[in-house]
């Protein structure tokens, strides 16, 4: 069986790149929300409870770099900005939905494991 080289796994592997992007904390939430239509930052902040301005901007810039999100600025006062998925971004909705669907089907297992892990972490603390 052929080994998977370091470079292959670290750099070339588009799969891991994609997984790393998709697992950034607010990425799935943002992509899902934007899949419902273009949104203003304020709306996104209200929709994603707990996200800070910093993380919102940072994650959106990140997604812009990936060509997944497009930013439109309306030159008015007060400022008006809108974010929307690009065509590439739209193509990313489906894989996330697949993962989401799978996670829902197996949510029992996942939930069980998660509470176990939480418990063991806490009992290891003191």
Residues that bind a copy of itself in the complex, under the rule CB under 8 A: 1, 3-6, 8-20, 22-23, 25, 28-29, 33, 36, 43, 46-50, 65-67, 88, 91, 94-96, 98-100, 102-104, 106-107, 109-111, 113-114, 116-117
State in angstroms the smallest separation of the CB of 52 from DNA: 5
- 57 interface partner picked from a copy of itself, DNA, none, CB below 5 to 8 A per type: DNA
Tell me: does residue 5 bind DNA (CB under 7 A). Answer: no
- 110 interface partner picked from DNA, a copy of itself, none, CB below 5 to 8 A per type: a copy of itself
Give CA–CA dist 96/109, Å, rounded. Answer: 19
C-alpha distances out from residue 119 to 99, 111, 113, 114, Å: 26, 12, 10, 9
Give CA–CA dist 69/15, Å, rounded. Answer: 20
Give CA–CA dist 102/34, Å, rounded. Answer: 21
Counting every residue written for the chain, the total comes to 126
Those residues with Cβ within 8 angstroms of residue 57's Cβ, 6 or more apart along the chain or in another chain: 41
Of 12, 25, 91, 107, the one binding DNA (CB under 7 A) is: 25
- Cis peptide leading into residue 65 (ω within 30°): no
Tell me: does residue 117 bind DNA (CB under 7 A). Answer: no
> Can you give the binding site for DNA, defined by CB under 7 A?
24-26, 40-42, 51-55, 57, 60-61, 71, 73, 78-81
């Amino acid at each position: 069986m052929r080994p998977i080289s370091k470079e292959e796994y670290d750099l070339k592997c588009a799969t891991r790149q994609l997984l790393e992007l998709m697992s950034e904390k607010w990425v799935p939430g943002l992509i899902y929300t934007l899949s419902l239509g273009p949104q203003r930052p304020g709306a996104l902040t209200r929709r994603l409870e707990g996200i800070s301005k910093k993380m919102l901007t940072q994650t959106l810039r990140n997604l812009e770099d990936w060509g997944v999100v497009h930013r439109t600025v309306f030159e008015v006062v007060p400022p008006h900005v809108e974010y929307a998925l690009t065509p590439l971004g739209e193509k990313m909705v489906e894989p996330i939905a697949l993962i989401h669907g799978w996670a829902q089907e197996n949510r029992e297992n996942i939930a069980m494991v998660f509470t176990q892990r939480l418990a063991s972490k806490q009992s290891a603390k003191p």
